[in-house]
Amino acid sequence: MEFDLIELIRRRTAQSRDDVRLGIGDDAAVLAPPPGQELAVAIDTMVEGVHYPPGTAPADIGWKALAVNLSDLAAMGASPAWALLALTLPRPDPEFIEGFAEGFAQLAQPYRLALIGGDTTRGPMTISVAVHGFVSPGKALLRSGARVGDAVLVTGTLGDAAAGLQLLQRGGRIDENDARQVFLLERLNRPTPRLSTGMALRERATSCIDVSDGLLADLGHICVASGVAAEIDAVLLPLSPALHDVFDDTAARDFALSGGDDYELCFTVPAARVAEVQADLARLGCGATRIGRIVEGSGVRVRDVDGQWLETAGQGWDHFAA
């Protein structure tokens, strides 16, 4: 049965690449990285009930399992190439695998990302994906380059995924006739990795990170790595119309600051280049909003519409917080 499941995954996710000399079916994959490129590698694990609610559609789980990893490559400015999948299932479930592989393939195929191997085993539902991408030597985006005077920007809108999760936790299901609720759930289940944006930011952004644990937490990582502080204007946070309509202003702001699971990019650029960068990203169909600045000091502070510093309720997701 295990090998039947592996074959099902292999058949559904098949992708031909010249740099894959040997993929699924042997003890290890054999790969040929292109000359003159550095390899960016990332891995993430998803656990049922932690990273996605029980009852999530298998295709959405497959999509998200890959998307959260591709988002890490986007934050590095890397182009995706290969993936490994380790899948732990409580029982053999061809129907789940069919749906999972469908969602995984829907995201992988536009990027010509090849699934080159992995593992299947029995146990509590757990999914680990490792991705590999290419970046020119010395051109990877890092967290450590932010400088005092830089502007802080984010792609897309913030807080939607956390709002979608709140709707599920509050009511148990989404009203499929309410386009706003459907949009928020879609943002939770099928995040868009900003790969083209990350590649466009190479040699432009001074630092970059993807917003997985919440804006405050992830921008905080940039501040620590760069030895600086950040000031954010809450009134500038990009919020979707759906978020505005479904939740009040305070809840929407808190989702945007601390909710996580957005997988947008937060990055810094010299203030003089903001307009140029925004125009270029708009042409890519993504866009970016200036939300603050890098200053001397440490940590992240948020200013309200009246210019007062906010007491923020949370600093983002921490797996091991009490």
pLDDT of 316 over the 70 cut: no
Q: How far is it, in rounded angstroms, from Cα 288 to Cα 266?
A: 9
Query: Residue range 102-111: average pLDDT?
Result: 94
Q: What CATH number belongs to 151-303?
A: 3.90.650.10
Q: What is the pLDDT of residues 192-251, one digit of tens each?
A: 999 999 999 999 999 999 999 999 999 999 999 999 999 999 999 999 999 999 999 999
**Domain spans of the chain?**
2-135, 151-303
Q: Which residues 6+ apart lie within 8 Å of 26 measured at CB?
A: none
Domain 2-135 has CATH 3.30.1330.10: yes
Q: How far is it, in rounded angstroms, from Cα 207 to Cα 204?
A: 9
Position 264 scores a pLDDT of 98
Q: What is the pLDDT of residues 24-62, one digit of tens each?
A: 778 888 999 999 999 999 999 998 877 788 888 999 999
CA distances from 288 to 35, 61, 132, 200 (A): 33, 27, 26, 12
| Spatial contact of 283 and 222, defined as CB atoms under 8 Å apart | no
Per-residue buried b or exposed e for 105-136, using 16+ beta carbons within 10 Å of the residue's own CB: bebbeebebbbbbbebeeeebbbbbbbbbbbe
Q: What is the pLDDT of residues 81-100, one digit of tens each?
A: 999 999 998 887 888 889 99
Q: What is the pLDDT of residues 262-296, one digit of tens each?
A: 999 999 999 999 999 999 999 999 899 999 999 99
pLDDT of 322 over the 50 cut: no
Provide the greatest CA pair distance for the chain. 63
| Spatial contact of 246 and 183, defined as CB atoms under 8 Å apart | no
